[in-house]
Amino acid sequence: MSFIANLPLFCIVASLVCSVISSVLNGKLARWLSMALSLAVAVCSLLVLGMVWQNGEPLTYLMGHFPHPWGNEIRLGILESFFSFVFAAVMFLCMQGAKIALTQDLEAGKRQFYFVMTDLIQAALLVLAYTNDIFTGYVFIEICTLASCGILMIRQTGRAILASVRYMIFSLIGSGLFLLGVTILYGITGHLLLPSLHEAAAELWHTGDYRIPLTSSICLITVGLAIKSGLFPFHYWMPDTYGCATPCSSAILSGLVSKGYIFFLLKVIFSGFGTEVFYGSGVQNVLFVFGICGMIFGSIGAIQENDIFRMLANSSAAQIGYVYLGIGISPEAGVIGALFHILTHAVTKPVLFLSASRLSDTAGGSKRFKDLQGSGYAFPLAGFAFSLGALSMIGIPMTMGFMSKYLLAVAGLEATFKAVPTLLALALSTILNTFYFARTIIRLYTPGTPLSSAAPWRAQASFGLSAICFSLLNLGAGISASPLIALLRHGLEFFGKVG
Amino acid sequence: MLQTLWDSRVNCIAVILFAVGFATLLLHRNLFKKILGLNIMDTASCLLLTSLGYIEGRTAPIIVDGVTDVQRYGNPLPAGLVLTGIVVSVSVTAVMLALTVRLYERYHTLDLDEIYMLARQEEGEK
Amino acid sequence: MKKSEFRKWLKSWDAGEFDFTEALSDRASLPQPDGGSKDHPWKLEPINRLEQGEIKSFRKSYPFFAVVLCCIMIGFLLLTVEHLPTFGAPDAPAHNEVMERYVEKGMEETGAVNVVAGVILDYRAFDTLGESHVLYTAATAVFILLLSLKGGGEPERERKIMQSDPLLKSTARIIVPLVIVYGIYVIFNGHLGPGGGFSGGAVIGGGLILYAIAFGFEPLDKILNLKVYRMIVLCALCFYSLAKCYSFFCGANHLETIFSPGKAGMIFSAGLILPLNIAVGIVVACTMYGFYSIFQRGRI
Amino acid sequence: MDAIELMLLGLLLVCGIATCLSRNLLVSLVIFMAYSVVMSIVWVLLQAPDLAITEAAVGAGVSSVLLFLTLKKIRDIRKKVQDEKK
């Protein structure tokens, strides 16, 4: 085994150790440490991706001395390493872009705690991507929940604390259901590691034993993770939460944390239950319906808002709907669409949040649309980044948003009964998206009188770097999407294979 | 059916408690009660997990006199998982309680609907 | 205490259930805690009457919703339970080759007599690594919320705690050492019998809390203040992560570790399990006491 | 053994439901502590002594102390506010 195979373990342990060390550093050092960590994790993940691609097959790495079904292990596959690369890179860019906002929003003596939390989120996302064990997944989901709550409430206004209470309640309901699902699954299969679960579940499905517990555990696990990632009927915490958190937290939460849960769900579906069992149980139809509802109701909610952050939050709920729509359509084309949309959203939503915060700074900190009038001129780069992100969310060609909608539509056409609802929902939600994003862009570029002049040079530089990176990624992947799609397709073939 | 349920009565109690805790967590408007509901929900799923590892007539998985006969001991894995579950539950409880104290300091009530209304009112005044 | 007085006392603990309208109109005269919105006293706007009505009607239907939801959940879960393997059956699917290996080879492979300790600290050590960081995350979150940076606290209240009941003091004088010794025993005995780092740590934490209740924080402040707490947690958790990283690294690359299982049944056996238990125990004890202290007075 | 088990399970159910239904917060907290203790005894019966120790120390001990402290803190805040109002 080459040395590179050890890197994921080192990344995970380094994130945990960094989080512990950060608590005794001061705010500035902790931020440097955290950013260096994200960068290092991104580089390591790329190396792992290269190695796995060359090997041509996924690799299991023992966490201890015992192989499955006895001991913990992690699995290095294409999708795993690619997504952990994306998560780490987006995390780095978020922290880079929100440098100034973070200094303003965080209380001086507690600044380092923010970076403790981001390091823990980094560790949890890595583990959710790599792990091969459903219970390890549960533990790190909890770390992720608590740490997300930590970065939400760090602002400590009444509203932020209320929002984090609501977030916690929904998350805890989700993890309670998830734990119950895992319990039932353990009761009928006796395994917790995904490869062994895969065999056991397939066997149970063929013999027909324990059909009801198996179905209900699939339901519970799926519903638990769907609640945590904010699928339609449970998205009510989103507007509040993203609306009053510091922009960096909103960006991390919407771009990464909810995506981490969805990625873990996909992992459980593909390497745990197996697509045959999951798509035979009928749960995907529920996801499909709720995905469509989420797309439409999220967009309608976004239209009603007059606060730019709450609008983006509602739009996030709609985007989560797209992802679940893809999962609901079919295990091949649909899931590729869903994965591509995860990438789109991870690249687009953070930059929307960050540039919205810069824009609202030029308007004297107000988040209302009417105060933001003309702020696109006051900070041209933020205006440009916001507009590009918005266009990508609408699905204009040459952006990633277009490609993900295209993939979802193609996947929908392949499925017999779901073709019409998919296309209708995509069309309707595109119209709604266009309505509220175009309204915002027009507002930004209507001449008005912004309260304060341009931001200081340093603020522009740190934000500009990350905004440009995000925009380039968005355009690059939108224009030449085929290598990315090939990577996802190849990775998905790996995903179900037992290494 | 009733006979089956009676035979696995520990499991039944566990799921009933889970449902009670779940309903309290989701619907009770008092934050403190919600936290109690959360704890009940967590311990209930722990109870279910433990009872799945129990085997009639066998002792706890602590090796006595070096006898490593499988027929003698219960299943050690659920106990290990439940230990983790308990830790998670106490951590979450502590965070929720800290949030509760802060909310009460700010709004002087524990009723979530009321707090929500107050927060909206406050925002409207700004 | 008379019955009515007891009722009144009990009522004073209750902060949840009072009349909604009354509470809101009460609040009109309350001073605001952060002083930020002093110019805007709380008042009932006419617009909010409607919402208030909504909430009231929801309140009436609340018990109904709760009962219906609860019944649906119970029905669904009971159906599942009916099809689960019967309670206590030895041939249930959960009791498979995994369990056999744990029981038969566990002592030999991990050196722990208590198979549960072997499972959580050796076979499935990655879970437990996460578990200890869950507690750390929670502690950090509580710090963010309740740690007051001004220091100070409330000296008056602390003095009041000092003059606690003599009965409590003399009881604590006897019980606290016993509790702490028992906690240490549970930690050190984790691989030999029931117990382990977490439970032992919680017992010690409980003992420290009892001590603080009886004798006040001052004697403990000299030993365990924020700085010491941070260093302890830093050292213990880093030791934990790095030791486990080393062990995982050796396991995955099929190298020999320097930690051998040793002779099962001895105190100093079972390789890494004992040191890890001690590290977890220290972290848990300090964190539990830290929670108490920070809830009580906003600092450690 | 069977009788004890039944009694404990019944008690567990009653305590669990009463915690959620009782109107007074202090009362429900005390019932919750009883629930935790009963749960730890049930775990002894289920041959899981590790869990019993942990639940007794954490559920009935530290967790309940924290819950109790929260109630106390809330009462203090309320008293302070009432005093200021006078």
* Count of A-B CB contacts under 8 Å: 82
Lowest mean pLDDT among A211-220, A480-489, C57-66: C57-66
Nearest to D66 among B9, B23, B97 (CB): B97
Q: How far apart are CA A119 and CA C38, in angstroms?
A: 39
pLDDT at C31 over 60: no
Mutate to test the interface with C, among B1, B2, B55 (most CBs of C within 10 A): B55
B11 at D interface, C-beta within 8 A: no
Whether C157 is in a domain gets the answer: yes
Q: What percent of chain C has pLDDT over 90?
A: 20
pLDDT at A180 over 90: yes
Q: What is the pLDDT of residue B117?
A: 82
Structure tokens at D17: 């439901």
The CA–CA distances, whole Å, from D34 to B91, C28, D63 equal 20, 40, 12
Q: How far apart are CA A126 and CA A82, in angstroms?
A: 11
In the predicted model, what is the mean pLDDT of residues A106-117? 86
Q: Please give the ipTM for the structure prediction.
A: 0.92
Q: Which residue has the higher pLDDT, D14 or C9?
A: D14
B115 neighbourhood in chain A, CB within 8 Å: 162
Q: What CATH number is given to the structural domain containing B21?
A: 1.10.287.3510
- Strands A73-76 and A59-62, how do they pair? antiparallel
In chain A, residues 90-129 whose CB comes closer than 8 Å to chain C? 107-110, 113, 116-117, 120, 123, 127
In chain B, residues 15-54 whose CB comes closer than 8 Å to chain D? 16-17, 20-21, 23-24, 28, 30, 32-33, 35-37, 39-40, 43-44, 46-47, 50-51, 53-54
What's the total number of domains in chain C? 2
Q: What is the pLDDT of residue C43?
A: 37
Nearest to B96 among A159, A168, A183 (CB): A168
DSSP of A200-264, one letter per residue?
HHHHHHHHTTTHHHHHHHHHHHHHHHHHHHT-GGG-THHHHHHHHS-HHHHHHIIIIIHHHHHHH
pLDDT at C269 over 80: no
C59 and C177 part of one domain? no
C141 and C267 part of one domain? yes
pLDDT at C273 over 90: no
**Phi (first) and psi of residue C114, to 5 degrees:** -80, 110
- Give the tens place of pLDDT for each residue, A79-101: 999 999 999 999 999 988 888 77
Task: Judge whether A134 and A272 are in contact, CB under 8 Å.
Answer: yes
Nearest to C104 among B53, B68, B87 (CB): B68
Q: What is the pLDDT of residue A445?
A: 85
Contact: C94, A187; criterion CB under 8 Å: yes
Whether C224 is in a domain gets the answer: yes
C142 and C46 part of one domain? no
Q: What is the pLDDT of residue B58?
A: 82
Cβ atoms within 10 Å of A452's Cβ, excluding its own: 12
- Give the tens place of pLDDT for each residue, C83-141: 888 888 888 888 888 888 888 887 777 778 888 888 888 888 888 899 999 999 999 99
pLDDT at C33 over 50: no
Q: C–B contact (≥3 CB pairs within 8 Å)?
A: yes
Where are the domains positioned within chain A? 1-270, 282-499
Task: Look up the domain containing B79 and give its range.
Answer: 2-125
C119 and C197 part of one domain? yes
Q: What is the pLDDT of residue D15?
A: 92
Whether C247 is in a domain gets the answer: yes
Nearest to D50 among C11, C199, C202 (CB): C199
Structure tokens at C90: 């030895």
> Packing angle between helix C125-146 and helix A7-22, nearest 10 degrees?
30
What's the total number of domains in chain B? 1
C272 and C145 part of one domain? yes
pLDDT at A457 over 70: no
Contact: D12, B17; criterion CB under 8 Å: yes
How would residue A246 be classed by pLDDT, with cut points 50, 70 and 90?
confident
Contact: A62, C245; criterion CB under 8 Å: no
pLDDT at C29 over 70: no
User: pTM of the predicted model, to two decimals?
Assistant: 0.92
A421 at C interface, C-beta within 8 A: no
Q: What is the pLDDT of residue A122?
A: 93
Q: How far apart are CA D12 and CA B50, in angstroms?
A: 15
Q: What is the pLDDT of residue A366?
A: 76
Q: What is the pLDDT of residue C176?
A: 93
Q: A–B contact (≥3 CB pairs within 8 Å)?
A: yes
Q: What is the pLDDT of residue B8?
A: 83
Structure tokens at C57: 């009607």
Task: Look up the domain containing C215 and give its range.
Answer: 109-297
C177 and C65 part of one domain? no
pLDDT at A162 over 60: yes
C142 at D interface, C-beta within 8 A: no
C178 and C227 part of one domain? yes
Q: What is the pLDDT of residue C162?
A: 57
Across chain C, mean pLDDT equals 78
The CA–CA distances, whole Å, from A358 to A13, A53, A393, A432, D42 equal 34, 40, 19, 25, 57
Q: What percent of chain B has pLDDT over 90?
A: 36
Q: What is the pLDDT of residue C21?
A: 42
How close is the nearest chain A Cα to the Cα of C208, in Å? 24
Mention every residue, 6+ apart, whose C-beta is less than 8 A from residue B43.
B17, B86, B89, D35, D36, D39, D55, D59
Across chain A, mean pLDDT equals 88
How would residue C151 be classed by pLDDT, with cut points 50, 70 and 90?
low
Q: Which residue has the higher pLDDT, A12 or A417?
A: A12
How close is the nearest chain A Cα to the Cα of C48, in Å? 18
Cβ atoms within 10 Å of A370's Cβ, excluding its own: 10
Contact: C251, A65; criterion CB under 8 Å: yes
- Give the tens place of pLDDT for each residue, B43-79: 999 999 998 888 888 888 888 777 777 788 888 889 8
How would residue C161 be classed by pLDDT, with cut points 50, 70 and 90?
low
3-state helix/strand/coil string of chain C:
CCHHHHHHHHHHCCCCCCCHHHHHHHHCCCCCCCCCCCCCCCCCCHHHHHHHHHHHHHHHHHHHHHHHHHHHHHHHHHHHHHHCCCCECCCCCCCCHHHHHHHHHHHHHHCCCEHHHHHHHHHCHHHHHHHHHHHHHHHHHHHHHHCCCCCCCCHHHHHHHHCCCHHHHHHHHHHHHHHHHHHHHHHHCCCCCCCCHHHHHHHHHHHHHHHHHHHCCHHHHHHCCHHHHHHHHHHHHHHHHHHHHHHHHHHHCCCCCCCCCCCCCCCCCCCCHHHHHHHHHHHHHHHHHHHHHHHHHCCC
